[in-house]
Amino acid sequence: MNVLDIHDLSIALPPGAERAEAVSKVSFNVGRGEIVCLVGESGSGKSVIAQSVMGLLPKTLRVAAGTISLLDENITLAKESRLRQLRATRMSMVFQEPMTALNPVMRCGDQIDEVLRFHSDLSLMQRKTRILDIIREVALPDPERIIASYPHQLSGGQRQRIVIAMALVLEPALLIADEPTTALDVTTQAQILKLILELQKRHGTGVLFITHDFGVVAEIAHRVAVLRLGELVELGARDEVLKRPRHEYTRMLIGAVPTLKPHGRAVAPDAALVLETRGLAKTYSERGWFGPAREVRAAQDVNLQLRRGQTLGIVGESGSGKSTVARCIVRLIDPSAGEVRIAGADIATLGARALRPLRRKVQIVFQDPYRSLNPRRTVGEAIIEGPLNYGTPRAEALERARRLLDLVRMEASALERYPHQFSGGQRQRICIARALAMEPELLVADEAVSALDVSVQAQVLQLLEEIRTRLDLAMLFITHDLRVAAQVCDQVAVMSKGRVVEYGPAEQIFLRPQHEYTQALFEAAPGRGFAFGTASAST
Amino acid sequence: MATGQMMERVARNLSVRIGASVIALMMLVAVAAPWLGTVDPSLFDAGSRDLLPGKSGDITTLEGETLKHTFLMGSDSYGRDIYSRVIYGTRVSLVVGIATALLALAVGIACGLLSGYLRWLDGILMRFMDGIMAIPAILIAIALVALWRGSIVTVVVAIAIPEIPRVTRLVRSLVLTIREEPYVEAAVALGTPTRKILFGHILPNCMAPLLVQGTFTCAFAILVEAILSFLGVGLPPDVPTWGNIMAEGRAQFVSFPHNVFFPGIFLAVTVLAVNILGDGLRDTLDPKMAKRV
């Protein structure tokens, strides 16, 4: 008997959507004690499948055909009351963002207790023991303290453990995990994946694991189902799919995953110095009315050098200070100490007027393509904004915008259109064109490809690489993703807790990491054992 | 989202359609008042006092001629035609409502932008606004009109002042959110001057909530104007406003309720229409609301 059987499932989208069905004729199953990974890019319908199983589909979507069976019980058209009984007892779900999955005004212990109270008739004492047991089982330290804590008092990884504890406290047969580690740092992700594997093995839970990350797939899956625009294009055992993908879409996806091997491009060691920071530091201090000021040292003593035509990567987890450094260099925030030398001139303490002529030498591309462009301005207006600020005549600026769009491989007709008419990848190209319109010497990419699907990410990375070579730019590349860093960087600085812990040529950092933090970071990178990016070449 | 697409969605909303058509009708009434079978609203005739709706009677023009006139909504205790006064009263209410909304928005936007973008000014300006908010709106309005004598301009200013802090707070909170958006940071990196960032990037993205706030301010102003007139501290009693007509009719409400009833209906319908329009705008312009529908 399978835990979950999905047969010929079709889910209709409301009329007027870009396609008729969110999910079309998808069939697969999850056996007892099995982990099935549902992989796909954004819009592939993978989350919709999870929602349909849990009975949590948005009102605008409906199951058009097919059946969903949980432990041989057809729940496709089950009543809300029956679904409520099944949730938590036979199937549960873990969401991407643990902070929003937990109630911020309830203690963690009470939230787990709520599940027990609704679905079991255990006494208060029994429930208390059960909560302590499950907290210990998800390997949270000091269970008594955790139970009495509110979600905001815990770290992201701890919160996700609480969510997992809630999901598994009644030992459901099916666990649906919807991108449960996407919002977490790579070291935390590794721990959570290990925990899910352990618990799943111990309880024989069937897991439907939704992810976009092939590294995670390689770590955790028994079987893999690949979705593309609502259709199941490939289903098979993990090694089969990852090593010998049959469908060309799967091949493309796996081929687009960057390898962890550094590219080993030769660099000119004596090119002109574009960026140099000396003792750069940023301290945020919060002055209260009472008591001493609270200080947060976001970055300390950062010394970096970047030469023309080279790419320097800053790698680190969230809160490591890598974005702070980037924003100090672009002078979106003012450094508290140290120097930022752009082509020799220190800009760290320049006033707004003196800074103006130097601004154009440093441009930045942000992470979120959906928020990086003013929704009320055409693409053309966005690209020419900078040159207009520096006195370029409008016609000339527009002419250059056209050439830049060509450079980032977009049609010139895009000039007249608004950002919402473009996909994430296209918007990121527009942002790159906007930055290039200033003819910068240094391009800062702050997690510029992190929000993109893997295939789009590969294209944008290639584009950045091309532009850097063609225009002989210096590029500062901020990322949390080691694979991306390996692909583009010549030099890498690893940051942790506001400090650069290791800094050197990419080859050396990737192949012979010295600092224990760097080693831990590599250790945690999902799917290390798999040689991604080469699979497509061999088939 | 592009403006065109947004307008299309707004125009399809039922609340917007209902609210806007009623307001459009009211505006038409206000503009076309002289041609709607009305007489000069200040005319009176001692012989036609306290007529019931639909009764005919005499009315004396300014030149001293006596005309036959049908009092559709009756007449008041001076023998004035209530129908004419209510119709002409529409002009006052709409002008006060719209002018107040525009004034409160203009000043509020200026203060909000300054407060949200210039950190040093924030504390001073917002504490001042808190001060205004601590005094009941009607009380400020009454005090100001009493100070300046009633005229359309003073009434508008008096009602707008207590509304300014609300708009300021709204704009400030929007600016604080939008200034953190990457597209604003990108503009900073592109060397865009602060003034251009405020008016080119931040303000256009505040417009939707401001439009909604504007409709609510407008409805509130129409109500407050009527209240002020009713209390006798608004426009002079001979100016035909709905509040004045109701105030006039209050003394004999039991025997002649139409004096209060008809202007009351107009007031209620107009305020309701403006509020419905505001609700519709909020539903369509606010992305959070749109998703819920």
- Better pLDDT: A264 or B160: B160
Q: Each residue of A371-417: pLDDT tens digit? A: 999 988 999 999 999 999 999 999 999 999 999 999 998 988 999 99
Interface test with B, best of A330, A353, A376 (most B CBs within 10 A): A376
Long-range CB contacts (< 8 A, 24+ apart) of A353-360? A355/A331, A356/B191, A359/A331, A359/B189, A359/B190, A359/B191, A360/A386, A360/A390, A360/A438, A360/A439, A360/A440, A360/B190, A360/B191
Per DSSP, what are the bridge partners of residue A475? Answer: A311, A443
Nearest chain A residue to B3 by CA distance is A376
Model confidence band, residue A538 (pLDDT cutoffs 50, 70, 90): very low
Q: Are A218 and A162 in the same domain?
A: yes
If one counts every other C-beta atom within 10 angstroms of the C-beta of residue A516, the result is: 11
Q: Secondary structure of B98-129 in the HEC alphabet?
A: HHHHHHHHHHHHHHHHHHHHCHHHHHHHHHHH
**Which pLDDT does position B290 carry in this prediction?**
47
In A, which residues are within 8 Å of B190 by CB distance? Answer: 359-360, 363, 385-386, 389, 434, 438
Please indicate, yes or no, if residue A413 is contained in any of the structural domains: no
Please indicate, yes or no, if residue A44 is contained in any of the structural domains: yes
Model confidence band, residue A266 (pLDDT cutoffs 50, 70, 90): confident
Asked if A422 reaches chain B (Cβ–Cβ under 8 Å), the answer is: no
Q: Domain holding A524: CATH number?
A: 3.40.50.300
Token pair for residue A385? 């904004």
Nearest chain A residue to B182 by CA distance is A372
Task: Give the mean pLDDT of A469-484.
Answer: 91
Task: Point out the residue among B183, B187, B191 whose CB comes nearest to the CB of A371.
Answer: B183
Task: Point out the residue among A360, A364, A375 whose CB comes nearest to the CB of B186.
Answer: A364
In B, which residues are within 8 Å of A373 by CB distance? Answer: 183
Nearest chain B residue to A376 by CA distance is B2
Put simply, the answer to whether B205 touches A375 (Cβ < 8 Å) is yes
| Final residue of a structural domain among A201, A226, A256 | A256
Q: Each residue of A112-164: pLDDT tens digit? A: 999 999 998 999 999 999 999 999 999 888 899 999 999 999 988 899 999 99
Q: Are A79 and A200 in the same domain?
A: yes
Q: Indicate if ipTM > 0.90.
A: no
Token pair for residue A495? 């940051």
Put simply, the answer to whether A371 touches B2 (Cβ < 8 Å) is no
Query: Could you tell me the residue range of the domain that residue A54 belongs to?
Result: 4-96+157-256
Put simply, the answer to whether B190 touches A434 (Cβ < 8 Å) is yes
Q: Are A68 and A188 in the same domain?
A: yes
Q: Are A82 and A229 in the same domain?
A: yes
**Which pLDDT does position A19 carry in this prediction?**
85
Interface test with B, best of A374, A378, A388 (most B CBs within 10 A): A374
Please indicate, yes or no, if residue A104 is contained in any of the structural domains: no
**Which pLDDT does position A184 carry in this prediction?**
87
Q: How far apart are CA A465 and CA A460, in angstroms?
A: 9
Asked if A427 reaches chain B (Cβ–Cβ under 8 Å), the answer is: no
Asked if A332 reaches chain B (Cβ–Cβ under 8 Å), the answer is: yes
Confirm whether pTM is higher than 0.90.
Answer: no
Asked if A392 reaches chain B (Cβ–Cβ under 8 Å), the answer is: no
**Which pLDDT does position B292 carry in this prediction?**
43
Please indicate, yes or no, if residue A45 is contained in any of the structural domains: yes
- Return the CATH fold of B3-292: MetI-like fold (1.10.3720)
In A, which residues are within 8 Å of B191 by CB distance? Answer: 356, 359-360, 386, 389-390, 438
Residue pair A337/A279 in contact (Cβ under 8 Å)? The answer is yes
Model confidence band, residue A535 (pLDDT cutoffs 50, 70, 90): very low
Q: How far apart are CA A55 and CA A78, in angstroms?
A: 8
Put simply, the answer to whether B192 touches A386 (Cβ < 8 Å) is yes
| Final residue of a structural domain among A227, A256, A285 | A256
| Final residue of a structural domain among A212, A227, A256 | A256
The length of chain B in residues reads: 293
Please indicate, yes or no, if residue A363 is contained in any of the structural domains: no
Q: How far apart are CA B18 and CA A466, in angstroms?
A: 56
Task: Point out the residue among A364, A377, A421 whose CB comes nearest to the CB of B189.
Answer: A364
**A-to-B residue pairs, Cβ atoms closer than 8 angstroms:** 65
Put simply, the answer to whether A371 touches B182 (Cβ < 8 Å) is yes
Q: How far apart are CA B217 and CA B104, in angstroms?
A: 8
Per DSSP, what are the bridge partners of residue A492? Answer: A313, A504
Per DSSP, what are the bridge partners of residue A282? Answer: A299
Asked if A371 reaches chain B (Cβ–Cβ under 8 Å), the answer is: yes
Q: Are A252 and A276 in the same domain?
A: no
Task: Point out the residue among B183, B190, B204 whose CB comes nearest to the CB of A373.
Answer: B183
Q: Are A188 and A337 in the same domain?
A: no
In A, which residues are within 8 Å of B202 by CB distance? Answer: none
Biggest alpha carbon distance in chain B?
77
**Beta carbons within 8 Å of A206's beta carbon, 6+ residues apart:** A2, A3, A4, A30, A31, A32, A33, A34, A35, A36, A173, A174, A175
Q: Is B38 helix (H, G, I), strand (E, B) or coil?
A: coil
**Which pLDDT does position A30 carry in this prediction?**
94
Give the residue ranges of DSSP H helices in chain B.
3-12, 14-31, 82-117, 119-133, 137-148, 152-178, 182-189, 194-196, 207-231, 242-250, 258-285, 287-292
Q: Are A305 and A237 in the same domain?
A: no
Task: Give the mean pLDDT of A195-211.
Answer: 93
How far away is chain A from the Cα of B209, in angstroms, using its nearest Cα? 15
Q: Kindly give the confidence (pLDDT) of every residue in chain B, 293 residues in length, as a single tens digit, with 9 standing for 90 and above.
A: 556 777 787 888 889 999 999 999 999 999 988 888 778 888 877 777 777 787 887 777 777 777 788 888 888 888 888 888 899 999 988 999 999 999 999 999 999 999 988 888 898 999 999 999 998 888 888 888 888 877 889 999 999 999 999 999 999 999 999 988 999 999 999 989 989 999 999 998 888 889 889 999 999 999 998 888 888 888 888 888 898 888 888 888 888 888 888 999 999 999 999 999 988 888 887 655 544 43
Put simply, the answer to whether B182 touches A366 (Cβ < 8 Å) is yes
Least trusted range by pLDDT, from A36-40, A519-523, B8-12, B196-200: B8-12
Q: What does DSSP say about strands A311-316 and A337-342: parallel, antiparallel, or unpaired?
A: unpaired
Q: How far apart are CA A375 and CA A387, in angstroms?
A: 20
Q: Are A303 and A191 in the same domain?
A: no
Task: Point out the residue among B181, B189, B200 whose CB comes nearest to the CB of A363.
Answer: B189
Put simply, the answer to whether B186 touches A359 (Cβ < 8 Å) is no
Least trusted range by pLDDT, from A243-247, A339-343, B76-80, B123-127: B76-80
In A, which residues are within 8 Å of B178 by CB distance? Answer: none
Interface of B with A (CB under 8 A): 1-3, 181-183, 185-193, 196, 200-201, 204-205
Please indicate, yes or no, if residue A16 is contained in any of the structural domains: yes
Q: What radius of gyration do chain B's Cα atoms show?
A: 23
Q: Are A168 and A234 in the same domain?
A: yes
Q: Each residue of A1-13: pLDDT tens digit? A: 789 999 999 999 8
Put simply, the answer to whether A386 touches B204 (Cβ < 8 Å) is no
Put simply, the answer to whether A438 touches B188 (Cβ < 8 Å) is no
The DSSP line for A376-397 is TS-HHHHHHHHHHHTT--HHHH
Number of structural domains (chain A) is 2
User: Residue A309 phi/psi, 5° resolution?
Assistant: 80, 5
